[in-house]
Amino acid sequence: MSEVMSKQDGNKLRWSYFGYFAVLALIMPYLAVFLDALGFKSREIGELIAISTLCRIVGPPLWATYCDYKGKRLPAIRVGVFTTFALFFALNQVTSFAGVALVMALISFFWSAILPQLEVVTLNTLGNEQHKYSGIRAAGSMGFIVVALVAAWLIDWGGKTSFPLLAAFLMIPLMVSVVRLKEVRQIAQQVVEGASASLLQNILKRQFLSFMAASILLQLSFAPFYAFFALYLTQLGYSPFAIGAVIAVGVVAEVVMFLVASKLLVRFRLSRVLAFCMAFTALRWWLVADFGATLWLLVFSQLLHAFSFALQHSAAMRFLHRHFPKSQQSRGQAIYISVAWGGGAAIGAWVSGITWQDGAGASFTYSLAAIAALIGMVCALGIARDKQPQ
């Protein structure tokens, strides 16, 4: 009976990941397309995305604190999912800058409750079978690929302003799956005296500061991709299907890299892997900047997503696991997600909105992203451990 239940729990988790990343496949590339259709200029689009991204700084720590206090994760996940669903309908009704900014900020805040807590539920459910995580997480990549292939066609068919309603429709499978999820009961952790001082010591270590600098620069470099990539390809004359296919190529490369990342991380020094990923990320943005109109080079740049996201993410998770003791890992993850992902992405979105200039500055913006990634490569080399005395 337990084996059957284990399979059922695994399938529920797979569908949850599938549903989450299916919605993300619409949000990430086409939010800027929707904002452009509302008549906002590129600077305003950058500001709107930056405002909503700021909620990724405050959201994860607040949700984590709430979940630690309650001792449960599923209530936060469900609140995040159902509230986001309702907010997409609200987004369909507003057109002013202030109204769109408010609704997008709320969507970002409640959306940030879902994935971090889903990761914790998954890892707690797996217990000693952590090796099954990649198979469950791969379902999310499949959801992203499926929607990425049809999202551009749906936007073209329904009109660019149909984005909120399409997002709400895609939320339905996720809503069904999180209602069916079950959570393993956890034992509350005791607060250790002096833990805050110990955490601060680990935060102020050179290796962690170098890691955070590299991570912030990486997310900053990704900002024009997240904010304007689909809009950029539309301006270059690519068809809706081609745009979806190009985006899906990156996710396929991501899935393949996730399957082999652990072997690479065992063989090579972590600092060099991260620096290597940053170098390939710089190459990727340079190709997008100067050769975006050449299809095969654009596809090749998307294949580099295997390094700029999948391998980098795997290496980052390993670094955090190694750098922080078990009692500090949740807070270490929250700092990483809030400061690097939230802060770096917010700054990048704001800068990209200024330099994009309604498409006229697209090449310059991606060139700046390449420079940011190169500086991040230098920072990543500082993660190397100090040499131990003989």
**For the residues of 248-283, what is the DSSP string, one character each?**
HHHHHHHHHHHHHHHHHHHHS-HHHHHHHHHHHHHH
Between CA 7 and CA 279 the distance in angstroms is: 40
Give the whole-number percent of the chain exceeding pLDDT 70: 89
Between CA 365 and CA 180 the distance in angstroms is: 44
Number of C-alpha atoms within 13 angstroms, CB side, residue 301?
Answer: 24
User: Distance of CA 130 to CAs 4, 105, 136, Å?
Assistant: 18, 34, 10
Residue 388, helix vs strand vs coil: coil
Q: Which amino acid is at 103?
A: V
Q: What is the pLDDT of residue 125?
A: 79
**For the residues of 81-106, what is the DSSP string, one character each?**
HHHHHHHHHHHTT--SHHHHHHHHHH
Looking at the predicted structure, is the pLDDT value of residue 42 above 80? yes
Q: Which amino acid is at 297?
A: L
User: Distance of CA 358 to CAs 45, 291, 363, 372, Å?
Assistant: 10, 19, 12, 22
Question: What does the pLDDT look like over 168-180, one tens digit per residue?
Answer: 999 999 999 999 8
Q: Which residue has the higher pLDDT, 131 or 301?
A: 301
Between CA 213 and CA 259 the distance in angstroms is: 27
Angle 114-126/74-91 helices, nearest 10 degrees?
A: 150
Structural domains of the chain, ranges and CATH numbers in brackets: 1-181 (1.20.1250.20), 198-390 (1.20.1250.20)
Q: What is the pLDDT of residue 185?
A: 63
Q: What pLDDT band is residue 187 in, cutting at 50, 70 and 90?
A: low
Between CA 132 and CA 94 the distance in angstroms is: 43
Give the whole-number percent of the chain exceeding pLDDT 90: 42
- Asked which of 181-185, 217-221, 271-275 is least confident by mean pLDDT, the reply is 181-185
Question: What does the pLDDT look like over 57-116, one tens digit per residue?
Answer: 888 888 877 776 777 888 989 999 999 999 999 999 999 999 999 999 999 999 988 888
Question: What does the pLDDT look like over 326-371, one tens digit per residue?
Answer: 666 667 777 888 888 888 888 998 899 899 988 889 999 999 999 9
Q: What is the pLDDT of residue 4?
A: 34
Report whether 215 contacts 320 (CB < 8 A). Answer: no
Helices (H), 39-185: 42-70, 74-91, 97-111, 114-126, 133-158, 163-180
User: Distance of CA 314 to CAs 114, 274, 283, 320, Å?
Assistant: 20, 10, 20, 10
